[in-house]
Amino acid sequence: MDYQKVKGTHDFIGEDAEYLSYIRETFFKVTSLFNYKEHVIPTLEYSEVFSRGVGQGSDIVRKEMYSFLDKSYRSLTLRPEFTAGIVRSVVENKLYATEVLPIKSSYLGQSFRYERPQAGRYREFYQGGVECIGVSGIDYDVEVIQLCLELLKRFHLDDKVALSINYLGGIDTRERYTASLTQYFKGHIEEMCDDCKERIEVNPLRILDCKEERDQKVASNAPEITSFLSEKEKADYEAIKERLTLLNIEFHEDTHLVRGLDYYSGLVFEFNVPLEDNALCGGGHYDNLVSELGGPELEGVGFSFGIERLIQFMKDNGIKPESKKSKSFYIMPLDKEVSNYALRIARLLRENDYRAEIDYDGGKIASMFKRAERLNLDYGIIIGLDEANAKTVQLKDLKTQEQISVSYDKLLEEISK
Q: Which residues bind ligand HAM (CB under 6 A)?
A: 81-83, 113, 115, 120-122, 125, 127, 129, 131, 260-261, 279-284, 302-304, 306, 308-309
Whose Cβ is closer to ligand HAM: residue 120's or residue 362's? Answer: 120
Shortest distance in whole angstroms from residue 14 CB to ligand HAM: 20
Shortest distance in whole angstroms from residue 56 CB to ligand HAM: 16
Residue 72 dihedral angles phi and psi, to the nearest 5°:
-100, 15
How far from chain centre, in Å, is Cα 102?
Answer: 22
Whose Cβ is closer to ligand HAM: residue 19's or residue 303's? Answer: 303
Angle between helices 139-154 and 231-246 (to 10 degrees): 30
Shortest distance in whole angstroms from residue 21 CB to ligand HAM: 18
Whose Cβ is closer to ligand HAM: residue 102's or residue 129's? Answer: 129
Whose Cβ is closer to ligand HAM: residue 281's or residue 372's? Answer: 281
- Contact call for residues 123 and 7 (beta carbons, < 8 A): yes
Whose Cβ is closer to ligand HAM: residue 295's or residue 380's? Answer: 295
Whose Cβ is closer to ligand HAM: residue 307's or residue 377's? Answer: 307
Q: What is the side-by-side strand order in the sheet with 392-397?
A: 355-358, 328-333, 379-383, 392-397, 403-407
Shortest distance in whole angstroms from residue 417 CB to ligand HAM: 44
Q: Given the DSSP bridges, would you call strands 355-358 and 299-306 parallel, antiparallel or unpaired?
A: unpaired
Angle between helices 15-33 and 139-154 (to 10 degrees): 140
Q: Residue 172 contacts by C-beta under 8 Å, 6 or more apart in sequence?
A: 230
Shortest distance in whole angstroms from residue 153 CB to ligand HAM: 18
Whose Cβ is closer to ligand HAM: residue 233's or residue 270's? Answer: 270
- Contact call for residues 393 and 406 (beta carbons, < 8 A): yes
Residue nearest to ligand HAM (CB): 306
Shortest distance in whole angstroms from residue 287 CB to ligand HAM: 12
Whose Cβ is closer to ligand HAM: residue 47's or residue 304's? Answer: 304
Whose Cβ is closer to ligand HAM: residue 81's or residue 233's? Answer: 81
Shortest distance in whole angstroms from residue 219 CB to ligand HAM: 19
Distance CA(60)–CA(81), nearest Å, equals 9
Whose Cβ is closer to ligand HAM: residue 129's or residue 380's? Answer: 129
Distance CA(265)–CA(142), nearest Å, equals 15
Shortest distance in whole angstroms from residue 126 CB to ligand HAM: 8
- Contact call for residues 299 and 287 (beta carbons, < 8 A): yes
Shortest distance in whole angstroms from residue 110 CB to ligand HAM: 11
Question: Which of 264, 282, 262 lies closest to 199, judged by CA?
Answer: 262
Rg (the chain; Cα; Å): 28
Shortest distance in whole angstroms from residue 352 CB to ligand HAM: 40
CA-CA-CA-CA torsion for 94, 96, 97, 98, nearest 10 degrees?
Answer: 90
